[in-house]
Amino acid sequence: MSAETVVTEPTTVSIAAGPLVAPILRRVVGMLAARADLPLDRLDDAVLIADLLAARAPAHLRRETVDVVVEQSPRTLALRVGPLRRGGGDALVGEAAVPGVGNVIEQLADELRVVEDAGDEYLHVRLACAAP
């Protein structure tokens, strides 16, 4: 089986809201982005998105943990953050705006959506890169 046909099981991390969210999430996302064979610029984008999510997500959580499911496939990385409070997904994305730059998550993500499931919201972010 070649690396281009391998799809792995999702990785789930649950981190207590606090000062360790950013360093843990940054490392997990960076490692899985590398395993997904994202080029360096997209790996950097994934880590930047992880930093933004780590900084902003705790204010919108339904629990006291930041729960992230990371799915990787060749040259693609998808993150699912939640459960979030109602309206939390859109608020989280809205808070990613940087003056003079715009909304960083919207600019970097190939797909960005908020999904409701059993009364909870989940923010889905996908980054991809075409095969070389």
What is the sign of the dihedral through the CA atoms of 69, 73, 74 and 80?
Answer: negative
Residue-wise pLDDT tens for the chain (132 aa)?
A: 444 555 578 999 999 999 999 999 999 999 999 999 999 999 999 999 999 999 999 999 998 999 999 999 999 999 999 999 999 999 999 998 888 888 999 999 999 999 998 888 999 999 998 766
Strand pairing partners for 69?
12, 80
Report all structural domains of the chain as residue ranges with CATH numbers, in order of start: 11-128 (3.30.565.10)
> Which pTM value belongs to this model?
0.87
Angle at 114 between CA 49 and CA 78, to 5 degrees: 45
Q: Report d(CA 70, CA 125) in Å as an integer.
A: 10
